[in-house]
Amino acid sequence: MQPQTDHARGRFDCEGDEIARHFFSEDDLRMSPEEYAARQAHNWALFSAHLYRYRDAALGAWVRRLGEILSSEEEVERCRQRFLTPEELADVRRQASEGF
């Protein structure tokens, strides 16, 4: 992994609570990061929320775990196999192939 530049370090050296709460609903946050990734990974082209600092420790842990999962196609696939029905899995794969 490359070291962050001063610009990138400054960009992420702030609190992410408000940003995360903008992107994730209370219903999203009631799911585990693994289930959320299974159901929503195909909707994220890029994910950087795990790089911010969080005042809410539980929120920060949830977002950091999601970032770990989304950085690995294999981990996303394991989550999908664990949480999705065959029909849901087919739907997610269709949406991903269509770019949704």
pLDDT of residue 20: 93
pLDDT tens digits, 24-73: 999 999 999 999 999 999 999 889 888 888 999 999 999 999 999 999 99
Please provide the DSSP assignment of the chain as one string.
-PPPPHHHHHHHSSB-HHHHHHHS-HHHHHS-HHHHHHHHGGG-S---GGGSB-SSHHHHHHHHHHHHHHT-HHHHHHHHHHH--HHHHHHHHHHHHHT-
Question: What pTM, to 2 d.p., does this model score?
Answer: 0.81
